C-alpha cells in the first residue's frame, strides 16, 4: 500500500526560483533512490478566509509563498530504505551545506499511510 511523506513550508517569494532549482535537484536524488513520485507545489489560491487556510497554518507573511510537497513510496518500509539512502547521499549533504532559500525551522513534515484511494 502506498506511503506518502508530506511537507508544508514557507519560502520567500523572491527566492522561489532558487527553491525550485534546489527542489528539482533533491527530487532527482529521491527518485534515483527509489521514490515513486516527487511533487512540489506553490500556493496559487490561498485567499480563503477562516482558521484552516494553508497560509494561516503555515504562518506565511506578506512576500512569502506557501509550498506543499509530497513524496510517494510503495510502503513505509520502502520509504525508510529510500530515506536512509537519500540521507547518506553526498549530493543532498552538499545542497544542505549551502544556505537554503527557506527557513528549515518552518517546515511541517509527516509520514502518512493511505486512507482512501479512488
Count of beta carbons in the 10 Å neighbourhood of residue 57: 12
Which pLDDT tens digits describe the chain residue by residue (118 residues)?
899 999 999 999 999 999 999 999 999 999 999 999 999 999 999 877 767 788 888 889 999 999 999 999 999 999 999 999 999 999 988 888 888 899 888 999 999 999 998 9
Domain 3-45+52-113 fold is Alpha-Beta Plaits (3.30.70)
Helix (H) or strand (E) holding 11: strand 3-12
Q: Which pLDDT score, from 0 to 100, does residue 43 have?
A: 95
Q: Which pLDDT score, from 0 to 100, does residue 57 have?
A: 86
C-alpha span between 41 and 80 (Å, rounded): 23
Q: Which residues contact 116 (CB under 8 A, 6 or more apart)?
A: none
Q: Taking the C-alpha atoms of 11, 39, 3 and 45 in order, what is their torsion angle to the nearest 10 degrees? A: 60
Q: Which pLDDT score, from 0 to 100, does residue 82 have?
A: 98
Count of beta carbons in the 10 Å neighbourhood of residue 23: 21
Which backbone phi and psi does 105 adopt, to 5 degrees? -70, -10
Q: Which pLDDT score, from 0 to 100, does residue 53 have?
A: 82
Question: Does the predicted TM-score (pTM) go above 0.85?
Answer: yes
Amino acid at each position: 500500500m502506498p506511503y506518502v511523506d508530506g511537507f508544508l513550508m514557507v519560502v520567500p517569494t523572491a527566492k522561489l526560483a532558487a527553491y525550485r532549482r534546489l527542489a528539482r535537484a533533491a527530487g532527482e536524488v529521491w527518485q534515483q533512490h527509489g521514490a515513486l513520485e516527487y511533487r512540489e507545489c506553490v500556493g496559487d489560491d490561498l485567499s480563503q478566509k477562516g482558521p484552516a487556510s494553508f497560509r494561516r497554518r503555515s504562518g506565511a507573511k506578506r512576500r512569502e509563498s506557501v509550498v506543499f510537497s509530497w513524496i510517494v513510496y510503495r510502503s513505509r518500509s520502502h520509504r525508510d530504505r529510500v530515506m536512509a539512502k537519500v540521507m547518506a547521499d553526498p549530493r543532498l549533504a552538499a545542497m544542505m551545506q549551502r544556505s537554503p532559500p527557506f527557513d528549515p525551522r518552518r517546515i511541517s513534515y509527516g509520514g502518512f499511510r493511505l486512507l482512501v484511494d479512488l
